[in-house]
Amino acid sequence: MAVGLSDPDEILPVAGIKLASCAAGIKKNGKHDLVVIVVDEGATCAATFTQNAFCAAPVTLAKKHLSQNTPRALLINAGNANAGTGETGMQNAIQSCVWLSEKLQCLTDQVLPFSTGVIGEQLPMPVLNAGINQVVKNISEDSWLLAAKGIMTTDTVAKAISRTLVLDGQKITISGIAKGSGMICPDMATMLSFIATDANVETDFLQQCLSDVVEQSFNSITVDGDTSTNDACVLIATAKANNRQLNKASEDASLFVDELNEVCQFLAQAIIRDAEGATKFVTVTVSQAQSTAEAKNVAYTIAHSPLVKTALFASDPNWGRILAAVGRAGVEQLDINNVNLYLDDVCIVRNGSVADDYSEEKGQTVMNQEEITIRVELGGGNDSATIWTSDLSHEYVRINAEYRS
């Protein structure tokens, strides 16, 4: 059961974007598993991808196609990652792009492929071909929610959001979907996200915007410390809103970036709220660090600790586990006498030792909540970072033990 998250009711269409989803038969459970996103001509596109050295064939091919052309279509399948599949996997990824390009009458390198699911299995190509033939018949502007469901794997709820703003006197829409629930860690995690806006945005600035907001959203979450082979986040700007083209010098640039950041942070946090087996949504904020990188490293050391995560699941205010994680995070010149530790607004550790006014009852009250904030003040600088994580439950172990069953 997702923590504080339910299926979205409505996602606003984006002019210049059409979508479709179908049950092609790639998943064993018969649910939707194939999604097509069609992009009108004249759009710009930006993307970020997994940093895993064993990146999947579709990731490699999507990077290549994006460097050669502006995409006219995205092809996403769930249930099979097409990763660790060698040259056959690459040829299958190419063939899937050929099939869709023929249906849409565009160039093969104008199709970006994406896959998510089990690693090490070849795509069922006859099933995929039949699915492509089926899915293109249902393309419409209003299929965002179906698409959000079609890219899910172990997710329990669809993840989608829309935001609007005014740029240059024009109403701008940003809509996005994401999937992800386990194998979640920075450098994109086992997640896919597809975001579109009708704003007119210059290509280089669009990429800069996406890279910046991904660092504060999708690269600021962790469930289990595992980075996947298939991660990607794609941002498409269709230019249908007729605003003057945005670039880094535009007066409205910060407004667009702020809204995009809201969209990405919502989707990133939704992944954590729907983390495999999660019963807690946890914010970890580290401040007074010597650099943002140092703050983020401490935050991740806390969030990746199995002892911290199991204490969170047990609602056990065992703050010594958090303090131990801070101590082993490799902070240079750490003065433990300057460290403060909080659960929400309850000060547990003040100046390196248990706070005089702390009680087990106060800590227990916070730990009983579904949503918890862990705050650490290092007392060594002016930089900070925030990441989001979940607890580690029996259900997480069961889901991953039975994943291929």
Query: Which tens digit of pLDDT belongs to each residue from 160-176?
Result: 999 999 999 999 999 99
Q: pLDDT band at residue 185, thresholds of 50, 70 and 90? A: low
Nearest to 234 by CA among 253, 213, 252: 213
pLDDT value at residue 182: 60
For residue 321, pLDDT beyond 90: yes
Looking at the chain, the domain(s) classified CATH 3.10.20.340 span: 281-401
pLDDT value at residue 154: 83
pLDDT value at residue 381: 95
Q: pLDDT band at residue 227, thresholds of 50, 70 and 90? A: low
Looking at the chain, the domain(s) classified CATH 3.60.70.12 span: 17-273
90/55 Cα distance (integer angstroms): 11
190 is catalytic: yes
CATH superfamily of 281-401: ArgJ beta chain, C-terminal domain (3.10.20.340)
For residue 121, pLDDT beyond 70: yes
Among 116, 154, 173, 190, the one annotated catalytic:
190
Q: pLDDT band at residue 373, thresholds of 50, 70 and 90? A: very high
More confident residue, 60 or 232: 60
17-273 under CATH 3.40.50.80, yes or no: no
Lowest mean pLDDT among 103-107, 360-364, 396-400: 396-400
